[in-house]
Chains A and B, each alone.
Chain A
Amino acid sequence: MNRSLRNIFFRRLNLLAIASAAIFGLLLVQAERVILLNDLHNKGQSIARILAAVTLDAVMAHDYATVERYVSDIVADSSIVSLTVKRADGEILAAYGETAGAEDLLAISHPVMIGGEVFGEVHLDFSTARVQSISRNLLLATVAAVIIFHLLGVLISRSALKSAVVMPLAKLNRAILTLRQGNLDQHIDIDEPTEFADIGISFNEMAATIRETFDDLRQQRERLQFEQSKLAAIVNNMADGLFVTDTSGVIISFNNSAERITGFSAAEAVGQKCSDLFRSSLCRDACALYHAGETINNRPTTLTTKAGESMVVAVSSAMLFNAEGEVVGGVQTFRDITADQKRQEVFCHTEKLAAIGQLAAGLAHEINNPLGNILGYAKYLDQAAPPDDFAKRVEIIVEQTKRCSGIVKGLLDFARRSASRPEAIAPNSLMARVADIVRFQADKKGIAIHLDLQSAGMIIADPQKIEQVILNLMLNAIQAMRGPGNIWAGTARRGETILLSVADDGPGVAPEFSSRIFDPFFTTKPVGEGTGLGLAICEGIITEAGGAIDVEDRPGGGAIFTVILPGANFAAANQPPSPVSEGV
């Protein structure tokens, strides 16, 4: 079935017309029937009344012929089936017509009165067939008239609908189709009716808006293409390798430097899982997706190149978000730091030797004292003395000897060159031990060391390297102070991290040096007194341990060095994966 506007409209119009014709026709016919019957009744009453009067006059003059003539003439009216004039005694004076078999009769009677007495009666029987016929004809005429007017109305309405609705709609539809085909320079003119004229104006405005929007989009697309080209050029020409993963760790982009560094082509890399491709813990170690969205900077880890060589890289990672702010992946940049690592190890070793050198002088003095004591008491061993005194002297000699032995052992431990061996360590004991080591030098300069060990937590790190960091920081503090002062060494827990701090009330760090203080070979010490590697090594150790180191001014003067290391629980999650726990 055609569901066009015209068909729907005219189907409903037809139904309305038919219903209207039926209702109107029936009402009209019923009203007309009532009127006709009423008229017929009135007419019958008039005839009967007049005939009664005439009858009375005629009968008084014995003029029955006149009565019969009137009756005959009246009955000539086809609507009267029968007419009877009779006296009160039943004598029929005039009668015409038969009512036998007739249907739908309207009976009317009127008395013939003589001075208040009933002389007779005039009785008429009207046929309502004419009323029925008129009603039927009226109904037919009404239906015919309604049909004719309806047809005329349909013709006029079709014409009006065509010009006022269908044609404007067709024009609008053509314009929309053309617009949909991409021709945005659409403009339609509809003068009337005003509703469609308004729609036409709205359409023109909409087309203009779409045109402007398309122009904007085209310009934005061009800008975007330019930005993409620029970005691609940057990405492909940057020295660092870069790859992008989706949320499941599958590589979706791989730049030229990444190809160069790893040996994998982009075609080989794209579509592979990061962990599958690099066969290392790179993704787990350094992908922001695995670190609750934390931005990762230069975190050292390893990967396996296409050639099967293990490579140490520094990875930076950030989450990739879409326009709705949803995480859609991660962006990782990495660079080969194998050479840097080796260089740093050399620097570290050199710095350690320098530190040992610095310690040597203190140690010499430290050892000299017990040695002096040993020597002094040893001289008295061959002299007679009470047994108790002898035993006491031997005991002091042994004690002083052990002290020397301890000092030497500590030096040897510090000077030992070894790879990182992370283990759970208590920062409090580490801090206390280092304080004991430097206390001698501090005492020499009248510097008091104050310990504030609040952290009861554990860290995962190489204890010797962390001890080296703390030793460096404390020695730097002692060296920085020109005379007596204070050093505050402490530990604290802040959330999932452990803070190790070394503060002093010395001259502090000049603002212009604070940004360079961790750079290798940067030193404020006189020539020959420092290598400029101490803090750089410290930063490398701490970074390797997944932490950070920072310096700031101490309120009241001096500087505060703060080492931030992940607590044992957090650090455990970042342990290198076991061989069977691969995957991203």
Chain B
Amino acid sequence: MVFMRRYPVLTIMLILAALCIVGPGPALAEELVFSTHPFANPAAVHKTFQPLIEYLRRETGLAIRLKIAPSYTAHVTTVGLGQADLAFVGPSPYVRIKDKFGGVELLARLRMEDDISDKVVVVCRAAAPFKSLAELKGKTFAFGDPQSYGSHYLPRWMLRNSGVPVGLLAAYDYVKSHDNVILSVLHGDFDAGGVRLDVYRKYADRPLRVLAGPFLTPPHAIICRASLPQDLRDKLRQSLLALRDRKVLERIDPAMQAFEQVTDSDFTQARQVIKVIEAR
């Protein structure tokens, strides 16, 4: 009290700073924040989700703002700290947010035609002499983001199961994205790399081939802050499951068919793989 009386201005500034640090509470803000990881350039990401956000705004009557996190880690942190109300997550981010921060709830998963985005392949150049993952000993390998399940954890898991732990590779590196994995293999920077099947399909006309896979992965999903009002969460889930507008769905992915029910058990495999890889 003496301090407050002696330094009143400083006291007010400290209170304001503290309020800023604490940040917004679990109460519903006037605007919902939809966070996503940077799986593509910001413009492409914005183009991907803007129709969906518009759809949800119409359905809920609430303003929704898209927030593109600068990295996988930042995305995990933002959502885990409750700074986002909605989020698009892959298997790895979901597991991390869920296991590390909690406070999130699965709303719906993306279902692709032939579940193409839920499959991972290991690719190499078409002219490469390899026939199996085991032959990659002493070779180089490209991973995507270290936090990516499809381009890191699962390919690394498959290499390990094939007897080629990363320690037996001549070299490996993280090239941030699935596309970079494909392209760096294509341009000869690496002998092989792991990517989602749908990404590989984009470069089907390039001189590449699948060395191994496809391997099934947990789906991508839409989650929300668990502290959102129940009726809002229900409304969001129902809206997603009811979405049949092809223009909105194809913007997210040309192969996307619809949103479906999803449960935490769908991510059990991912949780085990990540745990094993990170234990090493």
Q: A-side interface residues toward B, CB under 8 Å?
A: 61-69, 87, 91, 93
Q: Which of B57-65, B87-95, B172-180, B233-241 contacts A (4 or more CB under 8 A)?
A: B172-180
Bound form: Cα–Cα A216–B53 in Å: 109
B43 — nearest CB in chain A belongs to which residue? A73
User: What residues of chain B lie closer than 8 Å to A63, measured between beta carbons?
Assistant: 175-177, 180
A-B contacts, 17 of them at CB < 8 A, read: A61-B175, A62-B142, A62-B183, A62-B189, A62-B190, A63-B176, A64-B180, A64-B184, A64-B187, A65-B176, A65-B180, A65-B183, A66-B41, A69-B44, A87-B187, A91-B187, A93-B183
B-side interface size class: 10 to 19
User: What residues of chain A lie closer than 8 Å to B44, measured between beta carbons?
Assistant: 69
B213-233: CB near A (< 8 Å → 1, else 0) gives 000000000000000000000
User: What residues of chain B lie closer than 8 Å to A68, measured between beta carbons?
Assistant: 179, 183
Bound form: Cα–Cα A87–B183 in Å: 14
B180-224: CB near A (< 8 Å → 1, else 0) gives 100110111110000000000000000000000000000000000
The reply to whether B173 and A62 contact each other, CB–CB distance below 8 Å, is yes
Bound form: Cα–Cα A92–B143 in Å: 22
The reply to whether B183 and A64 contact each other, CB–CB distance below 8 Å, is yes
B181 — nearest CB in chain A belongs to which residue? A62
Within 8 A of A (CB), among B157-184: 173, 175-177, 179-180, 183-184
Q: What's the minimum C-beta distance from A106 to chain B, rounded to whole angstroms?
A: 27
Partner of B176, one of A61, A87, A93: A61
Bound form: Cα–Cα A465–B25 in Å: 175
Partner of B179, one of A65, A87, A91, A93: A65
The reply to whether B41 and A62 contact each other, CB–CB distance below 8 Å, is no
User: What residues of chain B lie closer than 8 Å to A66, measured between beta carbons?
Assistant: 41, 180
Bound form: Cα–Cα A68–B186 in Å: 13
The reply to whether A62 and B188 contact each other, CB–CB distance below 8 Å, is no
The reply to whether A91 and B188 contact each other, CB–CB distance below 8 Å, is yes
User: What residues of chain B lie closer than 8 Å to A93, measured between beta carbons?
Assistant: 183, 187
Bound form: Cα–Cα A63–B177 in Å: 8
Bound form: Cα–Cα A69–B42 in Å: 11
The reply to whether A69 and B41 contact each other, CB–CB distance below 8 Å, is yes
Bound form: Cα–Cα A120–B142 in Å: 22
Q: What's the minimum C-beta distance from B240 to chain A, rounded to whole angstroms?
A: 29
Q: What's the minimum C-beta distance from A406 to chain B, rounded to whole angstroms?
A: 168
Bound form: Cα–Cα A93–B187 in Å: 7
Bound form: Cα–Cα A68–B190 in Å: 18
Of A61, A65, A87, chain B has the most CB atoms within 10 Å of the CB of: A65
User: What residues of chain A lie closer than 8 Å to B179, measured between beta carbons?
Assistant: 64-65, 68
Bound form: Cα–Cα A66–B42 in Å: 12
Bound form: Cα–Cα A466–B184 in Å: 160
User: What residues of chain A lie closer than 8 Å to B142, measured between beta carbons?
Assistant: 62
Q: What's the minimum C-beta distance from B127 to chain A, rounded to whole angstroms?
A: 13
Q: What's the minimum C-beta distance from B148 to chain A, rounded to whole angstroms?
A: 13
Q: What's the minimum C-beta distance from B118 to chain A, rounded to whole angstroms?
A: 21
B183 — nearest CB in chain A belongs to which residue? A64
Q: What's the minimum C-beta distance from B177 to chain A, rounded to whole angstroms?
A: 5
The reply to whether A65 and B177 contact each other, CB–CB distance below 8 Å, is yes
Q: What's the minimum C-beta distance from A55 to chain B, rounded to whole angstroms?
A: 11
User: What residues of chain A lie closer than 8 Å to B175, measured between beta carbons?
Assistant: 61-63
Bound form: Cα–Cα A61–B142 in Å: 11
Q: What's the minimum C-beta distance from A77 to chain B, rounded to whole angstroms?
A: 15
Of B44, B175, B176, B183, chain A has the most CB atoms within 10 Å of the CB of: B183
Q: What's the minimum C-beta distance from A300 to chain B, rounded to whole angstroms?
A: 140
Bound form: Cα–Cα A358–B166 in Å: 194
Q: What's the minimum C-beta distance from A123 to chain B, rounded to whole angstroms?
A: 17
Q: What's the minimum C-beta distance from B61 to chain A, rounded to whole angstroms?
A: 35
Bound form: Cα–Cα A406–B180 in Å: 178
B174 — nearest CB in chain A belongs to which residue? A62
B189 — nearest CB in chain A belongs to which residue? A62
Q: What's the minimum C-beta distance from B123 to chain A, rounded to whole angstroms?
A: 14
User: What residues of chain B lie closer than 8 Å to A69, measured between beta carbons?
Assistant: 40-41, 44
Q: What's the minimum C-beta distance from A88 to chain B, rounded to whole angstroms?
A: 13
Bound form: Cα–Cα A62–B183 in Å: 8
Bound form: Cα–Cα A68–B176 in Å: 15
User: Which 8 interchain pairs have the tightest Cβ spacing?
Assistant: A64-B183, A65-B179, A62-B175, A62-B184, A65-B180, A62-B189, A63-B180, A69-B41
User: What residues of chain A lie closer than 8 Å to B187, measured between beta carbons?
Assistant: 64, 87, 91, 93
* Beyond A62-B180, A62-B190, A69-B40, 14 additional pairs, beta carbon < 8 A: A61-B176, A62-B173, A62-B175, A62-B184, A63-B180, A64-B180, A64-B186, A64-B187, A65-B176, A65-B179, A65-B180, A66-B180, A69-B41, A91-B188
Bound form: Cα–Cα A69–B44 in Å: 10
Bound form: Cα–Cα A91–B142 in Å: 19
Bound form: Cα–Cα A65–B186 in Å: 11
B179 — nearest CB in chain A belongs to which residue? A65
B33-45: CB near A (< 8 Å → 1, else 0) gives 0000000110010
Q: What's the minimum C-beta distance from B192 to chain A, rounded to whole angstroms?
A: 13
Q: What's the minimum C-beta distance from B29 to chain A, rounded to whole angstroms?
A: 33
A68 — nearest CB in chain B belongs to which residue? B183
Q: What's the minimum C-beta distance from B201 to chain A, rounded to whole angstroms?
A: 15
